[in-house]
Amino acid sequence: KTGQTVSRFVSQIIAYLQQFEPKHVVIACNTATALALPMLREQFLGLSISGVIDPGAKAAVVAAGRKVTPVIGVIATEATVRSRAYERAIHSRRRHARLIMRSTPLLVPIIEEGRREEDALVKLALRQYIEPVMKQGMDVLVLGCTHYPILKNAIVELVGPKVAVIDSAQQCADDVARRLK
């Protein structure tokens, strides 16, 4: 879908949710966050709105530790990668991080099809997408789609113990829980 279509859908959803007087709205989709969050904040002034990208970027920077030029990989949908939202969010916190952005267009359909981590097709797709990033000395891998944590165990197994795997959705949930206490 186009950025305009995604933004319109999310705007309609938030307009609907307003009748319930929410304290806070979380855009729990990386693509919707990347494409629509600034516009939504302008459209719904006075409503607290956040997305999953900033918490994921913050956690990636923390996980990179004190390394002068950490290598941070981000796997995400094509729209999220094209938006450069993760690049902006990470570089605003860690200017010298080296980012490797990788669109992974087959992962969402594979997950929505109900395939599991032990499925040979899943393992093949993960290897095809992630191994080239690993060869570049990746220190941190951000799961830049809220579908991807479903495959987190397989991803962690693939990248090994030296690479921190960041679940942007979980980081967002933790941030919102702290904020609403």
Q: What is the pLDDT of residue 170?
A: 92
**Which residues fall within 8 angstroms of residue 69, CB to CB, at 6 or more apart?**
96, 97, 98
The two tokens of residue 164 are: 């921190």
All residue ranges of the chain with pLDDT < 70 are: none
Q: What is the pLDDT of residue 83?
A: 96
The model's pLDDT over 150-161, given as tens digits with 9 standing for 90+, comes to 999 999 999 999
134 half-sphere exposure, CB direction, 13 A CA radius: 17
Q: What is the 3-state secondary structure (H, E, C) of the chain?
A: CCHHHHHHHHHHHHHHHHHHCCCEEEECCHHHHHHHHHHHHHHCCCCEEEECHHHHHHHHHHHCCCCCCCEEEEEECHHHHHHCHHHHHHHCCCCCCEEEEEECCCHHHHHHCCCCCCCHHHHHHHHHHHHHHHCCCCCEEEEECCCHHHHHHHHHHHHCCCCEEEEHHHHHHHHHHHHHC
Distance CA 33, CA 10 (A): 9
Contact 101, 76 (CB under 8 A): yes
**Measured CA distances, 48 to 18, 58, 148, 170, 179 (Å):** 11, 19, 26, 19, 11
Q: What is the pLDDT of residue 176?
A: 85
The model's pLDDT over 13-39, given as tens digits with 9 standing for 90+, comes to 999 999 999 999 999 999 999 999 999
CB atoms within 10 A of CB 147: 18
On the 0-12 / 13-18 / 19+ scale of CB atoms within 10 A, 116 is exposed
Q: What is the pLDDT of residue 151?
A: 97
Tell me the pTM: 0.94
Residues acting as catalytic residues: 29, 145
